[in-house]
Amino acid sequence: MYRILITCLLLFLPLSPVLADPGVEEKPVANAGDVEQTEQPDEAEGQAEQPAEPDVIEEDETAPDVVKREQRDLWAPSTAGHDGFTWIRLISGEWLKGEIKDLHDEVLTFDSEELNEFEYDWKDVLGLISSSPHTVTTWDGKVVTGFIVARRGSIRILDADGNQIDTIAPDDVKSMIQGRPREANFWSGKLGLSSAIRKGNSEQSDGTIQMNLNRRALVTRWDNSGSFNYAESGGEKTQESHRYTSNLDWFMSRNVFITVSEYEYFRDPFQNIRMRHTPGVGVGLSRTAGSRSWDVNAGVAWQYQEYVSVQPGEDTSENGLSGSAGAVLEWDITKDIEFDFDYTIRVPFKSSKSYTSHLKSILSFDLWRSLEIDFTFNWDRQNNPRADANQVTPDKDDYQLSTGIAWDF
Please report whether residue 171 resides in a domain: yes
Q: Region 36-52: what's the mean pLDDT?
A: 42
Pairing assessment for the beta strands 356-368 and 273-289 based on DSSP bridges: unpaired
Mean pLDDT along residues 26-40: 40
Q: Which residue has the higher pLDDT, 19 or 83?
A: 83
Lowest mean pLDDT among 68-82, 186-200, 216-230, 363-377: 68-82
**8 A C-beta contact, residue 342 and residue 360:** yes
Report, as an integer, the average pLDDT of 139-151: 86
pLDDT at residue number 246:
97
pLDDT mean across residues, the chain? 79
Q: Does the pLDDT at position 396 exceed 70?
A: yes
Q: How confident is the model at residue 113 (pLDDT cuts 50, 70, 90)?
A: low
DSSP letter, residue 4: H
Same domain for 94 and 195: no
Q: Specify the pLDDT at position 63.
A: 32
Does a structural domain hold residue 4? no
Least confident of 88-92, 127-131, 137-141, 250-254: 137-141
pLDDT at 332: 85
Residue 336: which CATH number? 2.40.160.40
Lowest mean pLDDT among 103-107, 197-201, 382-386: 197-201
Closest CA to 406 of 190, 196, 117, 189: 190
Q: Quick check: is 399 in a domain?
A: yes
Q: How confident is the model at residue 259 (pLDDT cuts 50, 70, 90)?
A: very high
Say which DSSP state 389 is in. T
How far, in Å, CA of 227 to CA of 359, rounded? 13
Q: Are residues 148 and 223 in the same domain?
A: no
Task: In whole angstroms, give the CA distance from residue 108 to residue 134.
Answer: 13
Residues 386 and 267 both lie in one domain: yes
Q: Does residue 62 carry a pLDDT above 70? A: no
Residue 266 reports pLDDT greater than 90: yes
Closest CA to 344 of 309, 386, 303: 303
Question: Given 158, 181, 204, which residue is the final one in a domain?
Answer: 181
Q: Say whether both 230 and 326 belong to one domain.
A: yes
Give phi and psi for 172, each to the nearest 5.
Answer: -90, -5
CB atoms within 10 A of CB 315: 10
Please give the single-letter amino acid code of residue 150: A
Res 288: pLDDT: 78
Cβ proximity of 101 and 111 under 8 Å: yes
pLDDT at residue 171 above 70? yes
How many CA atoms are closer than 13 Å to the CA of 21, on its beta-carbon side? 5
pLDDT band at 188 (very low <50, low <70, confident <90, very high): confident
Q: Is the whole model's pTM more than 0.75, yes or no?
A: no
- Categorize the per-residue pLDDT at 77 as very low, low, confident or very high, splitting at 50, 70 and 90: low
* Region of residue 19 (phi > 0: left; psi between -120 and 50: alpha; otherwise: beta): alpha
Say if residue 201 is in the same domain as residue 340.
Answer: yes
Phi–psi pair at 129, nearest 5 degrees: -130, 120
193 bridge partner residues: 209, 405
Domain that holds residue 252: 187-408
Q: Which among 157, 181, 205 is the end of a domain? A: 181
For the chain, percent of residues with pLDDT exceeding 90: 34
What was the pLDDT predicted at 3? 53
Are 196 and 170 in the same domain?
A: no
Residues 215, 313 within the same domain: yes
> Lowest-pLDDT range, 30-34, 95-99, 123-127, 257-261?
30-34
State the pLDDT at residue 199: 59
pLDDT for 205-237, tens place per residue? Answer: 788 999 999 998 778 899 999 999 888 887 788
> What pairs with residue 376 in β-bridges?
362, 402
**pLDDT for res 141:** 75
Total structural domains within the chain: 2
What share of the chain in percent tops pLDDT 70?
76
From 181, 215, 231, the end of a domain falls on 181
